[in-house]
Structure 1
Amino acid sequence: MEMGGLMGGFYRVSVHISRLAYVNLLWIMFTLLGGVVLGIMPATVALFAITRKWVNGQDEFPIFKTYWKYYKAEFLKSNLLGFILFVLIILLYNNFMLLQNDVIWMDIVRYILFFLTVLFAIVVIFLFPVYVHFQLNLPQYLRDALFLGLGYPVHTVLIGVGIFLLQMLFMKLPGLIPFFAMSTISYYIMWMANTTFNHVEKKRQEKLQASLQAN
């Protein structure tokens, strides 16, 4: 029987906190399992897949078994995506390093690179939620993450602000990092992204109904 009242609320909060700590430790373990370089992408995808279930109200499932399932299934594909991200980061970084001279036209190039970096950050913010929510090919993940971020700028800003505040919290309380850093950030991003997905679906349904009524 589920407890109600104050004790029931305290129990549910305690369970949720323990789950966040557990899945954060799983993220660390599975990242190390892949030698960090090959482990971080599938571990992060599995983390977002778990938090997506929680955001959607799915609580009764075996966490370890589910995490391991996503980790194995997405190991190759997620690492290919990670390689693409790594190449983009290197290209942006190298271009910034090449623009060290104080020439007027280089200021224009710097602004362009800064703009591209902002676009890249938007892609990264929405990439993992899009990855676990849709079945797409690699370029489509990048495209849809960018379109969602640009199409819902308020959500994008709120996600960015939330990530910044969480990072500030963990810098003040570094002892929380091994237990809550990635899982909490993942949960917050997934919660906000899920709100965005719901808005997209609502608009799609409205357009569909309008189209049916017009016919």
Structure 2
Amino acid sequence: MNKQAVAQKVYEITLLISRLALMNLMWIAFTIMGLGVFGLVPATVAIVGVFRSYEREGDAFRWSARAWQLYKAAFRRFWFVSFLFVAVCASLTLSLWVLKYQNGPWLVPLVVLVYVVALALPYLAANEANFELTIPALVKNSLLLPAMWTLTSIKILAVEAITVVLCALLPGLIPVMCASVPLFVVSALITARWNKQLRLLGKDELPIADEQRPAGASGQSDAANQPGDGRASMTAVATPTI
């Protein structure tokens, strides 16, 4: 690899890191704008939507503008889901505290809390970015898939655990990577898992830009010729069953 290629690769990595830092700050800002309770889910959906756009389109858009556009749409669609999500998490946290104080089965609410926060929410955001689904179907799908796709879920938990440890050791990383880095990796993991499922079903794979594919990989090219926002209709996809 010559010096020019190395310099280009360093530039691309640096640019991606700066974009991830920007997305992390925007995730924090979007959550605050929604008063936390109403903004958490829309913020997550918007940022994962940006990452999916990057997988699908490459560098053909402005990340900040796309994030704001997606957040406005996500807030209108998911503000009540966000309220319910926060309410469930608060209830589980309170149950955890009470059960630990009473020496009860506190591991049960802890496991459910981790499942909902660390798995169901990322799956919901990724599935919203990939498919056209009603909210009830989206929620059901996002609660079931983490249990069905065990290996993918373990990978997601590992990425999130590493992020938590790094942020605990270096709190200065929190505004830079606490949400964007794990969501970026999770988006790629779930896209890859969906494409594996779609291949098994004989369906068209989710589009990925050529520049995002590993060297020598084949498959659908970018979404330049895809209509609409690049999401697939769920009528063409069979949800996996246990």
Q: Percent identity?
A: 24
CA contact (8 A) 1:123 1:146 kept: yes
Do structure 1's residue 63 and structure 2's residue 70 form an aligned pair?
no
CA contact (8 A) 1:53 1:59 kept: no
Do structure 1's residue 144 and structure 2's residue 141 form an aligned pair?
yes
What value does the CA root-mean-square deviation take over the aligned residues?
A: 2.6
Q: Structure 2 vs 1, CA of residues 150 and 36 (structure 1 numbering), >3 Å: closer, same or farther?
A: closer
In structure 1, what is the equivalent of residue 130 of structure 2? 133
Of residues 93, 97, 116 in structure 2, which corresponds to 1:120? 116
SS in 2 for 1:147: helix
Equivalent residues in 2 for 1:84-95, closer than 5 Å: 84-93=84-93, 95=95
Deviation per CA, 1:149-187: give whole Å up to 9, x if none. 122101100110111011111222221221222111110
In structure 1, what is the equivalent of residue 158 of structure 2? 161
Q: CA deviation at 1:4?
A: 4.5
Which amino acid in the other structure matches residue 194 of structure 2?
A: F
CA distance in 1, matches of 2:152, 2:141: 15
What TM-score do you get using the length of structure 2 for normalisation?
0.71
CA distance in 1, matches of 2:36, 2:130: 24
Q: CA deviation at 1:92?
A: 3.4
CA distance in 1, matches of 2:177, 2:108: 36
Which amino acid in the other structure matches residue 20 of structure 2?
A: L
CA distance in 2, matches of 1:25, 1:111: 33
Which amino acid in the other structure matches residue 140 of structure 1?
A: A
CA distance in 2, matches of 1:115, 1:30: 27
In structure 2, what is the equivalent of residue 22 of structure 1? 22
Q: CA deviation at 1:38?
A: 2.8
Would you identify which runs of 4 or more consecutive aligned residues in structure 1 move more than 6 Å? Answer: none
Q: Structure 2 vs 1, CA of residues 125 and 113 (structure 1 numbering), >3 Å: closer, same or farther?
A: same
SS in 2 for 1:23: helix
Which amino acid in the other structure matches residue 75 of structure 1?
A: F
Do structure 1's residue 46 and structure 2's residue 42 form an aligned pair?
no
Equivalent residues in 2 for 1:178-189, closer than 5 Å: 178-189=175-186
Deviation per CA, 1:70-122: give whole Å up to 9, x if none. 111111222111122123334434555665667xxx75xx6765665565354
Give unmatched runs, 5+ long, in structure 1: 207-215
What TM-score do you get using the length of structure 1 for normalisation?
0.79
CA distance in 2, matches of 1:95, 1:14: 43
Give unmatched runs, 5+ long, in structure 2: 204-242
CA contact (8 A) 2:93 2:109 kept: no
CA contact (8 A) 2:27 2:44 kept: yes
Count of aligned pairs: 199
In structure 2, what is the equivalent of residue 209 of structure 1? none
